Every structure is written in C-alpha cells, then in structure tokens.
Structure 1
Amino acid sequence: MTSVAATAAHDLRQPFLSLAGIRKAYPGVVALSDFSMTVSPGEVIGLVGENGAGKSTLMKILGGVAAPDAGMITIDGVERSSLNVADSMKAGIAFVHQELNLFDNLDVAANIFIGREPRRGGFLALVDNDRMHAMAAPLLRRLGAGFGPSTPLADLSLAQRQMVEIAKALSMDARLVILDEPTSSLPISETERLLETIEALRGEGIAVIFISHRLHEIERAVERVVVLRDGVLAGNLDRGEITHDRMVKLMIGRDLKAQVGTHEAKVGPVVLAAKGIRTEAYPHHELDISLRSGEILGLAGLVGAGRTELARVLFGIDAPLGGSIALEGADVRIPSATEAIKRGVFLVPEDRKAAGVLLDLPIAENITLPDLGTHATGLLVSRRKEVATAERERQRLGIRAPSVMTRTGSLSGGNQQKVVLAKWLAMSPKVMIFDEPTRGIDIGAKSEIYRLMRGLADNGVAVLMISSDMEEVIGVSDRIAVMHEGLISGTLDKKDFSQENILLLAVGRSIG
C-alpha cells in the first residue's frame, strides 16, 4: 500500500495542512508536478529524494518564498492558491535549515527572540533581558536542553545550536517544524540527541518534516515517508513499509547495487606510514597509521577526536609537532600542500565549497588549477589543453553539466564533489584522503562516489576515508581505524565491523 489515499487513511488525526495538485515550473524545468500531501498534528514525515527532485521547491512553497503555478494549499480548512512568508509564519510553519541562522556573540535567549525581544523603559524601548530569559527557560525545558537561556551560543555544540533553532520555532507557536538535513554535520552522539528532540516534538502534537539523505535515520525516526523523484510524487511508505531498499528504489526508480563494502580488495604494500604524529589538537598524544595500496581505510570517531587534524598534517596544511611520515618506504617531509601534491598525496576536504572548489570559476579551470604548468604554452595557460583535460575527466567521472565551461557553483553537491575529485585524478594520485566525502549528497550520487573510490583503490591508490556516517564507514571500508582523543584506539578488520565495536573504540573503550 503506497498510494496517497492509503497514506492519508493510515492515521485518524485530522490533517491541518494539505497540498493538492501543486505545480511549479522554472525556465526549462518542471520542479514540481501534480504533487499532493497532507500533514497531521504530531506526525513525523520523512521527505526524501535525490538532489533536484523538488524538495527545495516544496519547502519554498511552504515557507511562502515561492508561489505555485497551480494547485491548492489548505490550512485548517481554508483554501488558498499560495502563501507568503507572513502567512506561513502565522500558520505555524517553522524551518530549521542546514546552515543555522544564529549569532555567536549573543546568548541563547537573545538568539531565540532575535527581532522579537520583549521591551521595557518606555520610549527608550530597552530589551528586557530578565523577561526574555524567563520566556526562554520553559522552551528549553520542553526540549530537555542541558543548557540555560544565559548560555553564550559560542559555547554550544552544533546539535545544541539546532535545539536553539527549534526553541525559536516553539516560541512562535510552531505547529510544523521542517528540519532540512539536520544531521549532516552531526556526530553519532549528537544525532541521537536530535532524534530524541524530534520525538519530544511529536509528543507535544507538533508535526515534523525530516529531510535527510541519511536513510537509516529516516527509517528510525519517522511514521511515514514521502518520496520525490524528478518533481513527481514517486510514492508514500507507511511505518511498516519503510526500509532502506524501498526508499532507494522509489527515489531513483531502480534497485541500487550493493555498496562496495562486499568487494574483496587486492591489498598491496604500505604506501604511506605515519608514526608518532602529534598535532596541535593533541600535543601529548602520538599517533601511528598506515595506508596500503588497493585499500579503503575508513577513519571513524567522534567529532573532536582529531581526524581532520590528521588529514591536514598528511596533506601538509599543518605541521606536526612531532613524528615522521614515510611514502613508499622513504622518509619524507611534507611542509606544505604544494609538496603533498608534488608527491601524489591529495585531499578532498570536508567543506568542498569553502576549500575544494572555486564556485565562480568554470569546471575546466577548477580541474586544472593545481597543475597549471602542464596546461601552459610558454607563460600562458592554454585554454585548449584545459578544456581537453577537463572534458576527459568530465566523461570519466560522469560530471553532469552542459559543458566544462559551466560555472561550478551551479552544479549539484554530488557533481561539485566530482569536480574536486577530477582535479586530483588528472594528476595520478598515490594517496587520496577523503574527509566526509558524501556530506549533503543524495543516495544516487553517493553510490557513484563510492564506486569512484573503489576504482581508485583497485588501481593501486591508497584511500583514506574520514566519515561520521556509520553506515558509510561499515559499507565502504576494507579496514576501519577508530580515533579517540588524538589516538588510534583500535583497528577493525571486516569480520569485526559493527556499530557497537566502532562506538566502543570511539569513546576510548576496548572491544571484547
């Protein structure tokens, strides 16, 4: 049973919001076509689909930012053709975006009531801090927050900051909270806290739309899944029907091949060995790690364990406080990223938009930027050579774009990640370090990135993959190293892969 009617019948709660026959088109593309759904009080709905499926357009329509070309929106029995931002807020629709809109220099209460602060002092209209803190306290208690209204926002973790955003929504009498990729930057422990917050909202009769590419979290948290594909409602899944495979099949229209974790790697000799490495984050802890040819080594651990700091040392961005690095058996110094690139050690960074690509440049210039000398004729860069290299890599990686002169910032997250990868593949890597390689990328693009990583390993490249996604680490790695407070607390072979073992090592305990 996956029809819209069957889904509406699954719950006797009366919907307070419904969309019927919604259509929205932009020049050259239909973003939504004949889309319908309902939302009932206290209902937790998972909204999934690949990038470009129409999720963002749907959220803009619900937020009053975009008006549909056709269809009807009904709120509490009142029909209207569109919403504006004021209508959306009045209806109790609140958003918690992936990029949080908070201010580090203010405390929690000030962030909750920013722009709506209670005032005192007559014509001076001074902010009444005591009253504002008193108003914020019960909101935080409702969410089970472990911090108070006067806590500086700068002292909070990312998950706690998301709770501040949710408290802000509650302060505006939210009836529907829309969480857009809320766990994409969260470690395991803080993801659990957010899922508990979702349950608390549900218990208060507040509806939640949970948008995520992490399907195992959707599977755990929601009562119903709505799947979008190419702007069309691909189907609904009720609680008893929700499985990873069913969601994927509805999202991409086919069964997804098994993850590459079932592959038997042809492991060769050690390519890179780091011994006694000490970083600024953990100056008194010495870390040893080795990367072997033909192998994907997953690097797991809680946020703050030192994984990214290790990647930055191996790539020459930061100097180690101590220790040594050997490449293909010979001791080397990697004092800069330029030296790392010269030696065939490459990094795909965690934040691709800030550190991986130049969004305003075309694909071709991003791909050839680290190796301009090869593409120069005399003192001038040859556009012909640039385009030839970029076109070769575009075809090899399946980068979806009209041409290699397309602006990189106009691409989807998955295709931007492929551009980052393409610039290194054009230079014959020996070691590839991926830091959170699929963050914010949809399930179809994830599968392509995994296949590309496996292809690198099969060609003898040593691959290090840092990931906070437990399912990804287990599904893709040939071995898993786990970090805790700047040290490798343990290394797991495939026979020992399990979430329990990884978590035990991540908190510094041994496995039985």
Structure 2
Amino acid sequence: MSAAPLTSSAPVLDLKGVSKSFGPVRALTDVSLRLLSGEVHCLAGENGAGKSTLIRVLTGALRRDGGDYEIAGEPVVAPTPASMRAAGVQAVYQELSLLPHLSVAENLFMGRLPARRGLLDRRGLRTRAREALDGVGLAAVDPDTVVERLPAATRQLVEIAKVLTAESVKVIVFDEPTTALTEEESARLLDHIRRLRDGGVAVLYVTHRLEEMFEIGDRVTVLRDGGLSESGPMSDYDEDRLITAMVGREVTSLYPESPSAQTQGDAGVPVLRVRGLRRTADAPSVDLDVRAGEIVGLGGLLGSGRSELLLSIFGADPISTGEIQIDGRMVKPSGPRSMMEAGVGLLTEDRKELGLLPELSIRENVTIASLRAGSRRGLLPGRDLAEEADRLLDSLRLRAGSYDQPVSTLSGGNQQKVLLARWLLTRPKVLLFDEPTKGIDVGAKGELYTVIGDLARQGLGIVVVSSYLPELLGLADRVLVLRDGAIAGELGSGASEEDVLRLASSASTDPAGTDEEGATHA
C-alpha cells in the first residue's frame, strides 16, 4: 500500500455524534467522522448502512438532527450545498451532476464562466477547460463536445475535472468514482487522488471495491445499520476483517459453487445459440452457445463490444446478419418485446436510466414487463400477478418497508433485486446481466451471486458481462473474451486475470492453444 503516513494535525472536518432520521426510520445514529489534511479516509459499509446519508449531511444536502459539525475548528450551524462548497467541501457523486445538453467546457465552469466586458469569454473558457481536461487524462476530448455524446466513463472523468477546478478545495468526497471506469482509467484517477492527498487535501473515498481501499486508504471508517461499526488505520485491516466489520458476519465464500457439474455438460441443445451475428455489415461475426444451467462470462476492455452484444441479442440494438435460437427455436430479434416473449431477459448496466422507472412503486416496477400476460385490461397488475411479484421479492430478501414505496428510495443492491424480480416474473430461459454488481456493496454482491448460482441450478442460461475480473472469473463456468467486437478466445476454469487481459489486449487475432471449437483454455 502506497499510502502516506497518518498525520496528527487538527482535523479539517469533524463530525461528532451525528444523527439523522426520516420519519420513524433511523438512518444515522451517533456517527462521528474526522478528516485530516493530506489523508485519504475510506468510508465503508453495505448499501443501506448510512454512507449516502452521511455524505449528504457532510455536504449540506441534508440537515442533521443532532450532533456537532466543524470545519477547521469553526462550527457549522446550518449548512447548505452552496455554503459548504464555499467552505472548500467538494463532492464527486455516484449520480453525475452534469447538464447533458451543454458542452464539456460549460459544465466544467457552470456558475463561474469567464467573461470580458460582460460577455462570455469563449477563448478563455476553452483554454481553462483544456487545462482541466488534460489534468484528468482527457486530452482527446474537445471542450466544445456536448456532454450527452460522451460515453459514461468519460462523463465520470469530466465530473471529477469539474470538482478539481474549484478554488480553495479543502475536502473532496469521492462517491464510487471508478464504477464506470476501466482499470487504466481507475489507476489514473487513484494516482490523481494521491497527488491531491500529497498536496494537503483531505479526501473521503467511498467505494465497494475493497482492493481500492487497501491501495489508497490511510484510514477507514465502517458504518453498519446507520451506526459506527469500526474506525482505524487501514494498515490494521485485511479483507476478511473489513468485510466482517461491514456485514457483521464472516463471508467465507463470496462466489457460489459452479452448477455446471450438475448439468448435462455438452449434451442437449443450447438454450441460447447465436450464429454469425454481425451488428453492422463490416462488423466481426460472433458465435455463442449457452447451455441450460451454465454461466458464461463476457470479458474485454471498455469498447470491446460486450454490452453491445447483449443489446443485440436482446433486440434493443439492430443487427445486420445472424441467427439467434432460444431453446432450439429460431427467433428474429425484431425488438425487446419479441425476445422477452421468446424467454430472454436483460439487466442493463445503467439500472436507473435504462431499467427502473423511479416514479413507480417497487411492485409496479416488477410487474411492468408482465402486464400484457397478467393484468387487468393491460394497464394494472391483477391480484395473482401482484401476489407472485411479492413472493419473488420476498424470496430475494428485498429490504423495504413496503412494496408500494417508490423504487427510487431503495439502495443500489435492492434496486438490482427489483430488476431481477421483474425478469423472473416473465419466466425466462436466458438471463443477460450487464455489470450486475455495479455500485453494490460486498454483502449485497454475495447475495446476488448466490441468486445467480441458484438460477443456473434451476436450468436457466446465464450470460454475465463484468469489468471486475475477480467477479467474472469467480462466477462464470467459462469466459469468452471480446476484442474489437470479435471473440478473441475462451477461458475455462483455472484462468487468471492476466489470461483475460492478455486476450483482451493482444494484437494477435489467432490466440495460441485453441481447440477444435475455437476455444482457448488456461
């Protein structure tokens, strides 16, 4: 671990005994947090542990019910987001605050655009934006580009650049900043955070990626059920102790045992069979088989075509040529509805934008894909459908006060369970997961992995796209690695992260060690 030595200077930010309730629900109880200049302080805990509430109190977005708050020794009485930014407290949230229809440069300096004689100084704006983008490794991004045209990972880095342009920054909160980033981009960001720390900035770092905490953290505070579980130097912890502090129990094995040994092996017709699929006329041809009870992983670098392949199979993206069979029956992917009716479900990477309907209740979000089959006049779920949805949610151990509450009130892990319940209600034969644990804590990850393993044991065909290589290798029976839209090779049990990266980045288009099926085995 390359962390700087802990400092004993006075805290730049000090929360003492903070409490916060939402009606009868106690979100924070007597929580204290002390941030020091030149230190990276990690905040750990499961979804629902109170991390987001604590961050919102810290940044002035929520008024605390009790406790003390000081910045540089001065009491903070009635904080607002504007007053906390003026005091030097900045935040990079998991949910981006960029305005999609404005340019990158305008987003970077919104509210403080440079002017000359009362008019916008566009040349000055471009110059300052160029410096800010270069500082986070976005030299190839044009400051005049409209934000909505940028990929998710680039937008995340623009958000970070925006925060770094503020003056008199004392504290920066990073809330899941690497969720949408590649390994290379994540490493670049962590290097930038180290430079901020070495420059005397106090950093509060929130992530579900435990390896990032150990790589960059000087100190860690763990929340559990809205209270303070533990706090201390990062060097006092290993992964097992940190997980135990977060979930209140030992997590002996995060990934389920492979169900493939209980399946028919190579016998029988694949539940999903893709042949000669081309997204465009000049795109590479992709072949893919998934058998009942099998979990197939799709690996590759950002831009390799993993998510696009899932969207094409699901009918959400058009294809130029190719055949898709579900359970031996030819299906034309004319749109998501045709694939849903054939027995295919897709859990998208961005559950908030492409999956959930935040204004609807939990139950309505679950039943919406099944309304045509089990509703009253196609508008509202019938009693049987609603009861089946509730039983599914119960079986997934969804944490909610009522299934009538808005789905937007749930944590990330519970929102993912809602999406999973939606597809299970359609009785699918194939489930496609795109980054299934994005933004989900370690406890919820373990629960979701167990569910995925159980679904495979029940005979579903599972395809998982994940940028987190331990997850990909831990879940999947075999991994297909994509490069430039083509399958570069296949890896079986015993493969390593290095094997995946070698196939994903190799210049060779004919990897060594292929068998008669075109598979490459570690």
Fold shared per TM-score above 0.5: yes
Please state how far the C-alpha of 1:241 moved relative to its aligned partner: 2.5
Please state how far the C-alpha of 1:432 moved relative to its aligned partner: 1.0
Per the alignment, residue 87 of structure 1 pairs with: 83
2:160 to 163, 166, 176: 166
Please state how far the C-alpha of 1:86 moved relative to its aligned partner: 3.8
Deviations 1:40-89 (A, max 9, x none): 11211111112221112211222122222222222222234442334312
Deviations 1:435-482 (A, max 9, x none): 111222222222111111100111111100111222211221111111
Are residues 397 and 108 of structure 1, via their aligned partners in 2, closer, same or farther at CA, if it must alter by over 3 Å? closer
Are residues 147 and 274 of structure 1, via their aligned partners in 2, closer, same or farther at CA, if it must alter by over 3 Å? closer
The answer as to whether partners of 2:367 and 2:381 remain within 8 angstroms in 1 is: no
Would you say 1:208 and 2:207 are equivalent positions? no
Are residues 252 and 135 of structure 1, via their aligned partners in 2, closer, same or farther at CA, if it must alter by over 3 Å? same
User: Which deviates more, 110-119 or 327-336?
Assistant: 327-336
Per the alignment, residue 365 of structure 1 pairs with: 364
Per the alignment, residue 278 of structure 2 pairs with: 278
Match of 1:446, as an amino acid? K
Would you say 1:27 and 2:23 are equivalent positions? yes
For residues 225 and 401 of structure 1, the distance between their equivalents in structure 2, rounded to whole angstroms, comes to 28
2:97 to 86, 101, 109: 101
Per the alignment, residue 445 of structure 2 pairs with: 446
Match of 1:470, as an amino acid? L
Match of 1:99, as an amino acid? E
Are residues 51 and 202 of structure 1, via their aligned partners in 2, closer, same or farther at CA, if it must alter by over 3 Å? same
SS in 2 for 1:111: helix
The answer as to whether partners of 2:30 and 2:227 remain within 8 angstroms in 1 is: yes
Please state how far the C-alpha of 1:334 moved relative to its aligned partner: 3.1
Deviations 1:211-253 (A, max 9, x none): 1122222222221211111121111242323333222211111
Per the alignment, residue 421 of structure 2 pairs with: 422
2:54 to 45, 51, 58: 58
The answer as to whether partners of 1:73 and 1:81 remain within 8 angstroms in 2 is: yes
Per the alignment, residue 32 of structure 2 pairs with: 36
Are residues 379 and 172 of structure 1, via their aligned partners in 2, closer, same or farther at CA, if it must alter by over 3 Å? closer
Please state how far the C-alpha of 1:304 moved relative to its aligned partner: 1.8
Please state how far the C-alpha of 1:187 moved relative to its aligned partner: 2.4
SS in 2 for 1:260: coil
User: Which deviates more, 160-169 or 385-394?
Assistant: 160-169
Match of 1:328, as an amino acid? D
**Sequence identity of aligned pairs in percent?**
38
For residues 129 and 378 of structure 1, the distance between their equivalents in structure 2, rounded to whole angstroms, comes to 56
Written as runs of structure 1 = structure 2, the 5 A alignment for 1:117-156 is 117-121=113-117, 125-136=118-129, 139=132, 143=136, 145-147=138-140, 150=143, 152=145, 154=147
For residues 271 and 214 of structure 1, the distance between their equivalents in structure 2, rounded to whole angstroms, comes to 33
The answer as to whether partners of 2:271 and 2:292 remain within 8 angstroms in 1 is: yes
Would you say 1:73 and 2:66 are equivalent positions? no
Per the alignment, residue 176 of structure 1 pairs with: 171
Please state how far the C-alpha of 1:136 moved relative to its aligned partner: 4.8
Are residues 47 and 88 of structure 1, via their aligned partners in 2, closer, same or farther at CA, if it must alter by over 3 Å? same
For residues 330 and 379 of structure 1, the distance between their equivalents in structure 2, rounded to whole angstroms, comes to 27
The answer as to whether partners of 2:7 and 2:39 remain within 8 angstroms in 1 is: no
The two structures have a TM-score, normalised by structure 2, of 0.87
Please state how far the C-alpha of 1:425 moved relative to its aligned partner: 1.9
Please state how far the C-alpha of 1:156 moved relative to its aligned partner: 5.5
User: Which deviates more, 316-325 or 403-412?
Assistant: 403-412
Match of 1:290, as an amino acid? D
The two structures have a TM-score, normalised by structure 1, of 0.89
Per the alignment, residue 14 of structure 1 pairs with: 10
Per the alignment, residue 517 of structure 2 pairs with: none
Match of 2:234, as an amino acid? R
Match of 1:293, as an amino acid? A
Are residues 22 and 160 of structure 1, via their aligned partners in 2, closer, same or farther at CA, if it must alter by over 3 Å? same
Per the alignment, residue 186 of structure 1 pairs with: 181
Please state how far the C-alpha of 1:327 moved relative to its aligned partner: 2.8
Per the alignment, residue 260 of structure 1 pairs with: 255
For residues 377 and 253 of structure 2, the distance between their equivalents in structure 1, rounded to whole angstroms, comes to 48
